[in-house]
Amino acid sequence: MKSNLYFSITKEDFKKSIPNELQGKFSRVVFEDDEESIEIASSWEEALEWGLIPWVRESVEWDTQGVPNREKVAIIKGEFSFIQGEVSALLAMGEGKLFPFNAVLTQSEAQALIKGELFTLPEEEF
């Protein structure tokens, strides 16, 4: 069974390796010298660069200097399998962390998070 889910990921973890259970999802076929090979994205960041993640929303402070990467959040949308261990791998990434850091979310939970202070500029900054 697969489901469209959202995953909030810290910038710190966005730059790290993708869990083994998800690597096949974030790979691409490469042709070089008439030979076909499979490349696996080295990180979530690289998977996004390759166009393998369909949607990412970064928090307001994503590129702000002086804010630790473990406090910056992006939301990834994707189809993740319960049977193949993909959802379990995402849950394991959030182990020991508090919401909203590395949390599996429903669409309505992701929408609520995006409307919050992590993703919207304060009115005085308009």
pLDDT in tens, 48-92: 999 999 889 999 999 999 989 999 999 999 999 999 999 999 999
Domain containing 100 equals: 2-125
The pLDDT of residue 123 = 60
Torsion angle of the four alpha carbons 2, 4, 107, 90, in this order, in degrees rounded to the nearest 10: 70
Average of per-residue pLDDT across 4-21: 94
Q: How confident is the model at residue 125 (pLDDT cuts 50, 70, 90)?
A: low
Task: Look at the chain and report how many structural domains it folds into.
Answer: 1
Q: Is 49:18 a contact under the CB 8 Å cutoff? A: no
Mean pLDDT value across the chain: 90
**Alpha carbon distance 55, 75 (integer Å):** 8
Residue predicted with more confidence, 34 or 123: 34
Q: Which of 76, 71, 93 is nearest to 20 (CA)?
A: 93
